[in-house]
Amino acid sequence: MRVLVISDIHANLEALNTVLEAAHQNGGFDQIWCLGDVVGYGPNPNECVARLREFEHICVLGNHDAAALGQINIEDFNPDAKQAVLWTQRQLTPATRTYLENLPEKRVIGDYTIVHGSPQNPVWEYILSPSTAHAQFAHFHTPVCLVGHTHVPAVYHHFSDHQGRWVTAWHFPEPGDVYELHDPDRWIVNPGSVGQPRDQDPRAAYALLDVEARKWAYYRIPYNVERTQYLMRQAGLPARLIARLSYGW
Ligand code: ZN
């Protein structure tokens, strides 16, 4: 089975549609696995949920999905993020709300554990370093864990060195790179963000996973950033959140 793995769509329908088309051109897919934060920041929360639901897919809960449902205290969010959360809360249709309310925090499918943040703290924890990743391997039991949340693509490779110690190496994938997530090693992989990349590259990110062969292929695709920015201005969303999409930070 071929799976399109995406994360952090953040209500950016332009980016989502571009990724869907690119993945289709790129050999297609049988299912989508979405790693959370479908909504928040962007101008099309309801449309992004509806688009995802056109496909056979699974999805887990992200922190911005929880925030949009009013499930968490947003006092610690920065002012722009807070304003975007409050705007998103006002937009949600009953259908979108019901969809988000039913998202699980974690899914385990065969060889794969699927969360937004980390296996230990599925909704909130950021895996941004090999030391953080290293500690996480004790918190899931499958060979592979898929995470999002950081908006930065990454491959963490956990393997036994020549002295028999388990160590964790950090790879920054280049678009087009394919990783074989082979045994007995273990892996935490992050496809990057569809709708708000934060690695200085504004292009939308996605991965295609051959589930049985455990081949992880990572890609980027340019999308119409200006269109999303126009819709954000129309919605009155914060200027800083609009500007960052041009630069990928
Ligand atoms: Zn996010």
- pLDDT score of 110: 97
Residues with CB under 5 A from ligand 1 (ion): 8, 37
For residue 150, the CA-to-ligand 1 centroid distance in Å is: 7
pLDDT for res 72: 87
For ligand 1, the distance from its centroid to the CA atom of residue 240, given in whole angstroms, is 16
Compute the distance from residue 234 Cα to the ligand 1 centre, in Å.
22
Instruction: Label residue 41 left, alpha or beta by phi (over 0 means left) and psi (-120 to 50 means alpha).
Output: left
pLDDT at 75: 86
CB atoms within 10 A of CB 170: 16
CA of 177 to the centre of ligand 1 (A): 23
In the reported structure, the alpha carbon of residue 116 is separated from the centroid of ligand 1 by a whole-number distance in angstroms of 8
Q: Say how many Å lie between the CA of residue 151 and the centre of ligand 1.
A: 6
Q: How far is the CA of 20 from the centre of ligand 1 (A)?
A: 19
Confidence (pLDDT) at 62: 98
Query: Separation of 64 CA from ligand 1 center, angstroms?
Result: 7
Interval 120-172: pLDDT, tens: 999 999 999 999 999 999 999 999 999 999 999 999 999 999 999 999 999 99
**Close Cβ partners of 243 (under 8 Å, ≥ 6 residues apart):** none
What sign for the dihedral angle of Cα 220, 217, 155, 173? negative
| Number of other CB atoms surrounding residue 93 within 10 Å | 12
CA 163 to ligand 1 centroid distance, Å: 38
pTM: 0.97
Regions in the chain scoring below 70 on pLDDT: none
Distance 38 CA to ligand 1 centre (A): 8
Could you tell me the two tokens for 25?
A: 């051109």
If you measure from the C-alpha of residue 220 to the centroid of ligand 1, how many angstroms do you get, rounded to a whole number?
A: 17
